[in-house]
Copies of this chain bind each other. A is one copy, B any other.
Amino acid sequence: MMSDDDDFDLTLFLPYLLNQAAEASSMQFQQFYKDRYGMLRTEWRVLFHLGLYGQMTARDIGLRAKMHKTKISRAVQKLSERRFVSRARDDEDRRVERLSLTAQGRAAYRDLYAVAQRYDAELTAGMTQGERHALRQLLVKLQDRGSTSGDRNSGKTAGRT
Protein backbone atom coordinates (compact mmCIF):
# COMPACT_ATOMS: atom_id res chain seq x y z
CA MET A 1 0.00 0.00 0.00
CA MET A 2 1.75 3.01 -1.34
CA SER A 3 0.12 6.41 -1.21
CA ASP A 4 3.13 8.28 -2.50
CA ASP A 5 2.93 11.82 -1.31
CA ASP A 6 -0.28 13.74 -0.80
CA ASP A 7 -4.02 13.29 -0.71
CA PHE A 8 -4.91 12.12 -4.20
CA ASP A 9 -6.97 8.93 -4.09
CA LEU A 10 -6.45 6.69 -7.05
CA THR A 11 -9.66 4.82 -6.32
CA LEU A 12 -11.42 8.07 -7.11
CA PHE A 13 -9.46 8.58 -10.31
CA LEU A 14 -12.01 9.91 -12.74
CA PRO A 15 -11.26 7.72 -15.76
CA TYR A 16 -11.47 4.71 -13.47
CA LEU A 17 -14.74 5.72 -11.86
CA LEU A 18 -16.22 6.60 -15.20
CA ASN A 19 -15.31 3.24 -16.61
CA GLN A 20 -16.67 1.35 -13.67
CA ALA A 21 -19.94 3.20 -13.79
CA ALA A 22 -20.16 2.95 -17.56
CA GLU A 23 -19.50 -0.76 -17.53
CA ALA A 24 -21.96 -1.48 -14.79
CA SER A 25 -24.77 0.42 -16.44
CA SER A 26 -24.00 -0.77 -19.94
CA MET A 27 -23.93 -4.38 -18.91
CA GLN A 28 -27.33 -4.00 -17.39
CA PHE A 29 -28.90 -2.07 -20.19
CA GLN A 30 -27.40 -4.35 -22.81
CA GLN A 31 -29.72 -7.04 -21.60
CA PHE A 32 -32.69 -5.28 -23.15
CA TYR A 33 -31.52 -4.77 -26.70
CA LYS A 34 -29.64 -8.04 -26.69
CA ASP A 35 -32.49 -10.18 -25.42
CA ARG A 36 -35.26 -8.52 -27.34
CA TYR A 37 -33.58 -7.78 -30.65
CA GLY A 38 -30.29 -9.66 -30.64
CA MET A 39 -28.48 -6.41 -31.14
CA LEU A 40 -24.92 -5.60 -30.36
CA ARG A 41 -23.94 -2.40 -28.60
CA THR A 42 -22.79 -0.80 -31.83
CA GLU A 43 -26.06 -1.71 -33.48
CA TRP A 44 -28.13 -0.27 -30.67
CA ARG A 45 -26.13 2.92 -30.90
CA VAL A 46 -26.74 3.29 -34.60
CA LEU A 47 -30.43 2.57 -34.14
CA PHE A 48 -30.52 5.06 -31.32
CA HIS A 49 -29.00 7.80 -33.46
CA LEU A 50 -31.21 7.15 -36.44
CA GLY A 51 -34.26 7.13 -34.23
CA LEU A 52 -33.22 10.32 -32.58
CA TYR A 53 -32.07 12.39 -35.52
CA GLY A 54 -33.89 10.80 -38.44
CA GLN A 55 -32.07 10.25 -41.70
CA MET A 56 -28.30 10.33 -41.43
CA THR A 57 -25.24 9.11 -43.25
CA ALA A 58 -22.71 6.77 -41.69
CA ARG A 59 -20.37 9.71 -41.45
CA ASP A 60 -22.91 11.78 -39.52
CA ILE A 61 -23.35 8.98 -37.05
CA GLY A 62 -19.61 8.68 -36.65
CA LEU A 63 -19.31 12.35 -35.84
CA ARG A 64 -22.11 12.36 -33.33
CA ALA A 65 -21.41 9.08 -31.62
CA LYS A 66 -17.63 9.23 -31.98
CA MET A 67 -17.72 5.74 -33.38
CA HIS A 68 -15.20 4.48 -35.88
CA LYS A 69 -16.50 4.10 -39.40
CA THR A 70 -15.77 0.40 -39.62
CA LYS A 71 -17.90 -0.28 -36.61
CA ILE A 72 -20.69 1.73 -38.14
CA SER A 73 -20.33 0.02 -41.47
CA ARG A 74 -20.70 -3.39 -39.89
CA ALA A 75 -23.51 -2.34 -37.59
CA VAL A 76 -25.43 -0.88 -40.51
CA GLN A 77 -24.94 -4.06 -42.46
CA LYS A 78 -26.43 -6.15 -39.67
CA LEU A 79 -29.28 -3.73 -39.05
CA SER A 80 -30.00 -3.66 -42.73
CA GLU A 81 -30.02 -7.45 -43.03
CA ARG A 82 -32.47 -7.61 -40.18
CA ARG A 83 -34.64 -4.93 -41.77
CA PHE A 84 -34.26 -2.35 -39.06
CA VAL A 85 -32.50 0.10 -41.31
CA SER A 86 -32.84 0.95 -44.98
CA ARG A 87 -30.02 2.31 -47.10
CA ALA A 88 -30.32 4.52 -50.14
CA ARG A 89 -27.60 5.90 -52.37
CA ASP A 90 -27.54 9.64 -52.55
CA ASP A 91 -27.75 10.71 -56.20
CA GLU A 92 -26.10 14.03 -55.52
CA ASP A 93 -23.01 12.28 -54.22
CA ARG A 94 -22.95 8.62 -54.99
CA ARG A 95 -20.36 7.80 -52.37
CA VAL A 96 -22.86 8.65 -49.70
CA GLU A 97 -25.57 6.44 -48.32
CA ARG A 98 -28.59 7.86 -46.62
CA LEU A 99 -29.66 5.71 -43.73
CA SER A 100 -33.03 5.60 -42.06
CA LEU A 101 -35.16 3.35 -39.93
CA THR A 102 -37.71 0.99 -41.39
CA ALA A 103 -41.10 0.61 -39.72
CA GLN A 104 -39.66 -2.31 -37.84
CA GLY A 105 -36.66 -0.20 -36.86
CA ARG A 106 -38.89 2.55 -35.59
CA ALA A 107 -40.90 0.08 -33.54
CA ALA A 108 -37.72 -1.26 -31.94
CA TYR A 109 -36.54 2.26 -31.34
CA ARG A 110 -39.74 3.25 -29.62
CA ASP A 111 -39.65 0.18 -27.48
CA LEU A 112 -36.04 0.68 -26.44
CA TYR A 113 -36.58 4.37 -25.96
CA ALA A 114 -39.20 3.59 -23.36
CA VAL A 115 -37.01 1.01 -21.72
CA ALA A 116 -34.11 3.44 -21.63
CA GLN A 117 -36.28 6.03 -20.04
CA ARG A 118 -37.31 3.65 -17.32
CA TYR A 119 -33.80 2.38 -16.81
CA ASP A 120 -32.39 5.87 -16.57
CA ALA A 121 -34.94 6.76 -13.97
CA GLU A 122 -34.06 3.67 -12.04
CA LEU A 123 -30.35 4.47 -12.14
CA THR A 124 -30.85 7.94 -10.81
CA ALA A 125 -33.50 6.91 -8.33
CA GLY A 126 -31.35 7.67 -5.33
CA MET A 127 -30.46 11.16 -6.48
CA THR A 128 -32.07 14.48 -5.96
CA GLN A 129 -33.32 16.45 -8.94
CA GLY A 130 -30.30 18.70 -8.57
CA GLU A 131 -27.83 15.84 -8.49
CA ARG A 132 -29.34 14.29 -11.58
CA HIS A 133 -28.98 17.46 -13.50
CA ALA A 134 -25.50 18.23 -12.21
CA LEU A 135 -24.28 14.75 -13.04
CA ARG A 136 -25.45 15.01 -16.63
CA GLN A 137 -24.00 18.44 -17.10
CA LEU A 138 -20.62 17.36 -15.79
CA LEU A 139 -20.62 14.28 -17.98
CA VAL A 140 -21.49 16.34 -21.01
CA LYS A 141 -18.51 18.54 -20.25
CA LEU A 142 -16.22 15.57 -19.85
CA GLN A 143 -17.31 13.81 -22.98
CA ASP A 144 -15.88 16.46 -25.24
CA ARG A 145 -12.51 16.78 -23.58
CA GLY A 146 -9.97 15.31 -25.92
CA SER A 147 -11.58 15.54 -29.31
CA THR A 148 -9.68 18.77 -29.71
CA SER A 149 -7.27 18.50 -32.64
CA GLY A 150 -7.36 17.33 -36.25
CA ASP A 151 -8.33 13.90 -37.58
CA ARG A 152 -12.11 14.05 -37.74
CA ASN A 153 -14.11 10.88 -38.00
CA SER A 154 -11.30 8.85 -36.55
CA GLY A 155 -13.54 7.77 -33.66
CA LYS A 156 -11.47 4.97 -32.31
CA THR A 157 -12.98 3.26 -29.35
CA ALA A 158 -11.16 3.71 -26.13
CA GLY A 159 -8.59 1.37 -24.81
CA ARG A 160 -10.11 2.17 -21.52
CA THR A 161 -8.53 3.30 -18.27
A residues bordering B, Cβ < 8 Å?
Answer: 1-2, 4, 8, 10-30, 34, 40-41, 44-45, 48, 51-54, 66, 106, 109-110, 113-114, 116-117, 119-120, 123-124, 126-127, 131, 134-136, 138-147, 156-161
- Most chain B CB within 10 A, of A1, A23, A116, A139, is at A23
- The interface residues of chain B lying within 8 Å CB-to-CB of A145 are 24-25, 28, 123
- In angstroms, Cα B26 to Cα A145, docked, is 11
Task: Report 6 cross-chain contacts, Cβ distance below 8 Å, ordered by A residue.
Answer: A2-B109, A18-B18, A24-B66, A24-B143, A27-B156, A41-B161
In the bound complex, residues from chain B placing their C-beta under 8 Å from that of A134 are: 131, 134-135, 138
